[in-house]
Chains A and B, each alone.
Chain A
Amino acid sequence: MKVIEVKGLTKSYGDFKAVAGIDLTIEAGEIFALLGPNGAGKTTTVEILAGFRDREAGSVSVLGFDPATKGDAGRAWRNRIGIVLQTASDAGSFKVREIVKHFSAFYANPRDVDQVIEAVGLSEKRDSLVLELSGGQRRRLDVALGIIGSPELLFLDEPTTGFDPEARRAFWSLIRDLKAGGTTILLTTHYLDEAEELADRVAVIAAGKIIEVSTPALLGGRSTAKATVSWLGSNGIQTEESDNPTAVVSKLAAQFGGDIPELVITRPSLEDIYLKMIGGQHE
């Protein structure tokens, strides 16, 4: 079932084409990552899909609804989605539990407040004031406010920007739990490892256009790209690219009669593929 369908989405700010014709389809229950450098149009796209911004051209259907529809019709739709924005610093003087409870009242079918607080790992901070939370905790609260309404679809805009590695892993685990619970998730990120870790499918976006949509493993023909074998030879580090690295290693093993010094076999990382893909878009 298609949760989001976008065709020909365009949005300009004056002369600047932030989104230059984008097609997207997102299936129910998947984690879909919109991966791209800053200024690529990720946030604009998500804001249009979430109903915060009007589009210039193209058709958009989110859970069967056009987000640009004005008026009360939007309320029933907003009941079904959750939105986690970039940096927000509001509600400072409230306690964590207070603000989550407050937001739960907006929705027709909210989740249990304490359960949500626990799901995002903030149980210890239930009675703390929001302004006392660390950056990572603040973000988790943002997610709590995004999921309190039991959304079918969750928008996450650059959720782990500024997190330390440990906080990121914990956050990823939370997102995976949400997916396990059946929520469809659209996240934007400029972190490659995040896209690789979380996403079922990735769309690489740069300069307002989608370059490719694929699974992280297949992105950019990665799985079929040549591996690089490097070792310490008589003239220093030597490398050889090959489609069949095992054959190369066998040959080297015979050559060295056993242990191959400083042997490293690498397949192109997502980063290599990614940088190559977006490199072509810089005018």
Chain B
Amino acid sequence: MEIIQFSRQKEAVVFTIFFPVILLAIFGSVFKDTIAPGVTFSQYFVAGMIASGLVNSGFQNIAINIPLERDMGAIKRLRGTPLPITSYFIGKAISVFASMAVQVIILLIIGTAFFGLNLPTEPSKWLTFTWILILGTACATALGVAFSAVPKNGRGASAIVSPVVIVLQFFSGVFFVFTQLPGWMQQVAAIFPLKWLTQGMRSVFLPDTFAAQEVAQSWESGRTALILFAWLIAGLFLAVKTFRWENK
């Protein structure tokens, strides 16, 4: 049901699914430099955009939509039915995964077709891709639900959530090569999951030789998993504690 609702809201579909593609088209075309042997900025950027796409579907969408639904009385109505709360969240999660899947597929297609993205050839890379995708989306969704308690109503939600996401994207090496950012920015960004997500995506799509260019001179997959997981737990905990059925 959630998916039907989402797909019927034309603006939401366009924004969530096509915006990353549009950004990719713009940035990919503007910055054509090679940033390391065999690696162009566009490839770096696509990896970052895929990670962004997860955050977009999971965090941004959820943190804006839940306050909107709360405004409209949808959540309060559900609360009066025998439907268990978890079913509501599972429905949302499925919708997030579906929109994320569409985004990723589109980005992969356009990335490989126009921006020289190389699809990984080793199965281990695909494995990495899969767990990062799942863990990243789950983490973003949990944080999105937790954050949905912050906006006081649906109208203000977009104004509060979007800047958070955009600022984070700038900090985390989506629009600029991470290692070129000032040191303090890198350290702040390292606390948040997006930096690790983008790095993880790069570990999938960029040649391993590039790893030397990353902050710790390696992909740090283990640490990536740990940090994402920690944020997922934190997100779930906060979500349960702070979820609001209605505006008050």
Contacts and interface: CB of A to CB of B under 8 A. Distances in A.
Interface of A: 50-52, 72, 75-76, 78-79, 81, 83, 85, 87-94, 98, 102-103, 106-108, 145, 149
B124 interface: no
Interface of B: 1, 4-5, 8-9, 69, 72-74, 76-77, 79-84, 245
Contacts of A149: 81-82
Task: Give the interface SS of chain A, mostly helix, strand, loop or mixed.
Answer: loop
A223 B60 CA distance: 62
A85 B84 contact: no
Question: Closest 4 interchain pairs by CB?
Answer: A88-B73, A90-B74, A93-B8, A90-B72
A78 B5 contact: no
Interface of B, helix, strand, loop or mixed by DSSP: loop
Contacts of B76: 52, 85, 88
Nearest to B10: A93
Nearest to A74: B82
Contacts of B8: 93-94
A75 B84 contact: yes
A61 to B, nearest CB: 18
Contacts of A91: 5, 74
A78 B81 contact: yes
Given A72-B84, A94-B5, A89 B72 contact: yes
B84 A89 contact: no
A11 to B, nearest CB: 14
Contact of A76 (B1, B4, B82): B82
Contacts of A94: 1, 4-5, 8
Contacts of B84: 72, 75
Given A93-B8, A93-B9, A106 B73 contact: no
Contacts of A102: 1
